[in-house]
Amino acid sequence: MAPSIIGEDLTITGNIISKGEVQVEGDVQGDVFCATLIVGDRGRIHGGIVAEEVTVHGRISGSINALSVTLESNSHVEGDICHQALKLEHGGYFEGKSQRSDDPLSQASSNVDTFRQATTATGSGKLRAARIERAA
């Protein structure tokens, strides 16, 4: 399955829900629920994240609940991270609380329920309940 890519010229206001990979190069104002999330160098997320695997090159302002989290050298994260594995590369910025958990996805209780219901209901419908706008 090909990744869903949010381009640099897009701003999404609303939640993103996907069973697969999401790559954010633009701006997301809402929560992201997916299997794999990659936040590119210019990508920004202002909201919570629930995913199995998260790699951050850009900026996140919000909580992260994931099995595996990698904060690359140019990342900037402000928010708490609940994880099984966390990697912070030299130069990466992280301000918040880090909590290791055997089941970090269940720590996001209501968010996980929303994710499960949405992915079951939508089938392959990605980016459900999101408003997409072109940046000026």
| C-alpha separations of 16 from 10, 29, 49 in Å | 13, 10, 10
Question: Within a 10 A sphere around the Cβ of 134, how many other Cβ atoms?
Answer: 9
Q: Which residues contact 116 (CB under 8 A, 6 or more apart)?
A: none
- Provide the whole-model pTM: 0.81
Q: Please check whether residue 121 is in contact with residue 127, taking contact to mean a CB–CB distance below 8 angstroms.
A: no
pLDDT in tens, 70-129: 999 999 999 999 999 999 999 999 999 999 999 898 877 555 555 555 555 444 443 333
H or E element, residue 112: helix 109-122
Pick from 50, 39, 42: nearest CA to 3: 39
